[in-house]
Chains A and B, each alone.
Chain A
Amino acid sequence: MDFLTPMEITALLLSLRVAGVAIALGLPVAVLAAWVLGRYSFPGKTLFDGLVHLPLVLPPVVTGYILLVTMGTKGVIGGWLYQTFGVKLIFTAEGASLAVAVTSFPLMVRAIRLSVEAIDGGLEAAARTLGAGPVDRFFTILLPLMAPGLLSGSIVAFAAAMGEFGAVITFVSNIPGQTQTLPLAIYAATQEPGGDAVAARLAAISFSVALVALMLSELLASRVRRLIGQA
């Protein structure tokens, strides 16, 4: 990667890592939330639905601020984590992952929920008559048929996570090599005199990553649909 500067490589790898960890952490929770929202009705469902979608409608800076207050070393949860396990989220890459996981979570849930709702409930009834219990059905019927939603949800959320600015800078600040993801690096470059060229190169990298992700998702999507017998 001779054509990238060490600073650019650092920012790119950090962004990929932060987004990757965020998706890996958020996906199981998103699947669960999407399954519950798409399959069951229960009292308080509207409230639950609203909470899941909250990060989508809140300004990211507010999300970041809430994280700062609750997950900081003096926050209710953050303080407990720090004192019990010595885990510090604020000003760390892990904290950045948490911030982008939260902001991209609703995007993931929405995409997965669509594919949950598209699954014919009759298939589950059929699986029951064939002796499959709830956990069995989840893994053999629901999860495979959710795959298109998992894929598109992950890609959209990954792209959003790569691009998240407000929540990250508010919660974990802008520290090169630790929390400075691509958008934060672009912002930092534009603040420096003569940083235009640096910003332009970073923007081009962001652009390329987004394009590759998009093409990859198209390719995977058609394979997955064929794999589960929908095409």
Chain B
Amino acid sequence: MSMLDLSIRQRLGAFTLDVSFAADGAGVTALFGRSGSGKTSIINAIAGLTRPDGGHIRVGGTTFFDSARRIDVAVEKRRIGYVFQDSRLFPHMTVRGNLEFGLRRVPAADRRIAFGPVVDLLGLGHLLDRRPRGLSGGEKQRVAFGRAILAQPRLLLMDEPMASLDAARKAEILPYIERLRDEMNIPIVMVSHALDEVVRLANTLVLIADGRVAASGSVGAVMGRLDLQAVTGTHDAGAVLDLTVERHVDEDGLTVLAFDGGRLTVPRVARAPGATVRLHIHSRDVVLALRQPAGVSLRNALAAKVVEVAESGPTAADVRLAVGGAFLIARVTRAAVRELGLEPGLPVVALVKGIAFEPTSGATARDRVVDV
């Protein structure tokens, strides 16, 4: 049974939203796309704040909307949490009052998530008696997370929860969302137009373009597709790999990460061996060679096979590579494609010279690209 099963049509002024997708299990499903592509309209329909013209919305087997069967459950009866971009804390209540607002409206028998643990998890203990007015943007958003979670939702929606925060506040909030995801066991659907957030937080990625689903699937699979770069934005193009910490090389300050396509050596990652690390490898940080090169400073060379070659702009081309069960993308010149004879099926060596999004560092996306 899907956690979320949705198919909706809705006229939105200039264009029509027409999307269908399903997401299962816990974890984060990211709705990713440009501003105005219809992402927020989708979660507003899930919450019940807007009514689609047709289709159905089912969450965890419960039907909240079905135009054919004339079902449209009221927002307040859906028990779907919603974290708004602008917090929307109640100004006349204390932080405690805000946190308890949803909790008090749930029958005692259904209160699975208790007040204390949520306050601890979000670090709100010292703020309980304050009014929202005096809080920083990051603190407000943390209270909004807590308020939504304590309403015991079946599903938590987040509308660009970090869009109104500067880079430092964003870095402060991200770990809290990760903890919500990992410890609260509530499925999350998050709207985002920032690729670094998606890569860091999401399991499932649904790409939305002009009111349609352009692609959906696991983050790694969707990010590895060449035909979607116009949607994801060429600037951040690249693949996503999930790796396991194999060992640390303390004398060199390095960590060896492993996946089914080989090993990568990166600057020390503050995770214990066995932990999972997600890397974002930009296409411009992958260099291709026909055979294992000698006498180069690059340490990370992976045996790969060309899967697909696509032109990207007047002089460049993107090459999709299969590395074990995962995918990498290399940005090369068209001249290189011609001279190396790059075509599907050709075995090559992928040299990785930079990685991004080391998941426990607090830096912003731009700073987080490190040479390896």
- Tell me the chain A residues, 116-148 only, with Cβ under 8 Å from chain B: 120, 122-123, 125-133, 136, 140-141, 144-145
B102 pairs with A130, CB closer than 8 A: yes
- Could you say which residues of chain A place their CB within 8 Å of the CB of B148? 129-130
- Tell me the chain B residues, 173-220 only, with Cβ under 8 Å from chain A: none
Q: Check B92 for interface membership: any CB of A closer than 8 A.
A: yes
Q: Check B49 for interface membership: any CB of A closer than 8 A.
A: yes
Q: Which of A82-90, A172-180, A222-230 contacts B (4 or more CB under 8 A)?
A: A222-230
**Complex-state Cα separation, A127 to B97, whole angstroms:** 12
Name the contact of B81 in the complex, choosing from A120, A129, A228 (C-beta under 8 A): A129
**Complex-state Cα separation, A128 to B88, whole angstroms:** 12
Chain A residues touching B, majority SS: helix
A126 pairs with B76, CB closer than 8 A: no
Known: A144-B92, A229-B91. A128 touches B75 (CB 8 A): yes
B91 pairs with A230, CB closer than 8 A: yes
Name the contact of A131 in the complex, choosing from B47, B90, B151 (C-beta under 8 A): B151
**Complex-state Cα separation, A187 to B77, whole angstroms:** 60
Q: Check B154 for interface membership: any CB of A closer than 8 A.
A: no
- Could you say which residues of chain A place their CB within 8 Å of the CB of B246? none
Provide the A12-27 mask, 1 if CB < 8 A to any CB of B, else 0.
Answer: 0000000000000000
A132 pairs with B76, CB closer than 8 A: yes
**Complex-state Cα separation, A125 to B47, whole angstroms:** 10
- Could you say which residues of chain A place their CB within 8 Å of the CB of B48? 128
Kindly provide the distance from the CB of B253 to the nearest chain A CB, expressed in whole angstroms. Answer: 47
**Complex-state Cα separation, A125 to B151, whole angstroms:** 14
Q: Check B79 for interface membership: any CB of A closer than 8 A.
A: yes
- Could you say which residues of chain A place their CB within 8 Å of the CB of B47? 129
**Complex-state Cα separation, A130 to B77, whole angstroms:** 9
**Complex-state Cα separation, A230 to B97, whole angstroms:** 16
Q: Check B101 for interface membership: any CB of A closer than 8 A.
A: yes
A229's nearest neighbour on chain B, judged by CB, is B91
- Tell me the chain B residues, 68-94 only, with Cβ under 8 Å from chain A: 74-82, 84, 86, 88, 90-93
Name the contact of B76 in the complex, choosing from A120, A133, A144 (C-beta under 8 A): A133
B92 pairs with A127, CB closer than 8 A: no
B contact residues, total (Cβ < 8 Å): 29
A231's nearest neighbour on chain B, judged by CB, is B133
A123 pairs with B76, CB closer than 8 A: no
Provide the A104-124 mask, 1 if CB < 8 A to any CB of B, else 0.
Answer: 000000000000000010110
Known: A129-B81, A130-B101, A131-B106. A123 touches B88 (CB 8 A): yes
Provide the B36-66 mask, 1 if CB < 8 A to any CB of A, else 0.
Answer: 0000000000011100000000000000000
- Tell me the chain B residues, 87-115 only, with Cβ under 8 Å from chain A: 88, 90-93, 101-102, 105-106
B97's nearest neighbour on chain A, judged by CB, is A140
B133 pairs with A229, CB closer than 8 A: yes
B80 pairs with A130, CB closer than 8 A: no
Q: Check B131 for interface membership: any CB of A closer than 8 A.
A: yes
Q: Check B147 for interface membership: any CB of A closer than 8 A.
A: yes
Kindly provide the distance from the CB of B22 to the nearest chain A CB, expressed in whole angstroms. Answer: 22
- Could you say which residues of chain A place their CB within 8 Å of the CB of B79? 131
A143's nearest neighbour on chain B, judged by CB, is B92
B105 pairs with A131, CB closer than 8 A: yes
- Could you say which residues of chain A place their CB within 8 Å of the CB of B93? 229
A229 pairs with B131, CB closer than 8 A: yes
B91 pairs with A130, CB closer than 8 A: no
A144's nearest neighbour on chain B, judged by CB, is B92
- Could you say which residues of chain B place their CB within 8 Å of the CB of A227? 92
Known: A130-B105, A131-B106, A131-B151. A123 touches B80 (CB 8 A): no
Kindly provide the distance from the CB of A132 to the nearest chain B CB, expressed in whole angstroms. Answer: 6
B131 pairs with A131, CB closer than 8 A: no
B76 pairs with A128, CB closer than 8 A: yes
Known: A125-B49, A129-B82, A130-B105. A145 touches B92 (CB 8 A): yes
A131 pairs with B76, CB closer than 8 A: yes
Provide the A71-96 mask, 1 if CB < 8 A to any CB of B, else 0.
Answer: 00000000000000000000000000
Kindly provide the distance from the CB of B50 to the nearest chain A CB, expressed in whole angstroms. Answer: 10
- Could you say which residues of chain A place their CB within 8 Å of the CB of B78? 129
**Complex-state Cα separation, A201 to B264, whole angstroms:** 95
Kindly provide the distance from the CB of B240 to the nearest chain A CB, expressed in whole angstroms. Answer: 31
A228 pairs with B91, CB closer than 8 A: yes
By a beta-carbon cutoff of 8 Å, the part of chain B in contact with chain A is 47-49, 74-82, 84, 86, 88, 90-93, 101-102, 105-106, 131-133, 147-148, 151
Q: Give 28 A-B contacts (CB < 8 Å), ordered by A residue.
A: A120-B88, A122-B84, A126-B84, A127-B90, A127-B101, A128-B74, A128-B75, A128-B76, A129-B80, A129-B148, A129-B151, A130-B76, A130-B105, A130-B147, A130-B148, A130-B151, A131-B77, A131-B102, A131-B106, A131-B151, A140-B101, A145-B92, A227-B92, A229-B91, A229-B92, A229-B131, A229-B132, A230-B133
List 11 additional A-B contacts (Cβ < 8 Å) besides A129-B151, A130-B102.
A120-B88, A123-B90, A125-B82, A127-B90, A127-B101, A128-B49, A128-B75, A129-B81, A130-B151, A133-B74, A140-B101
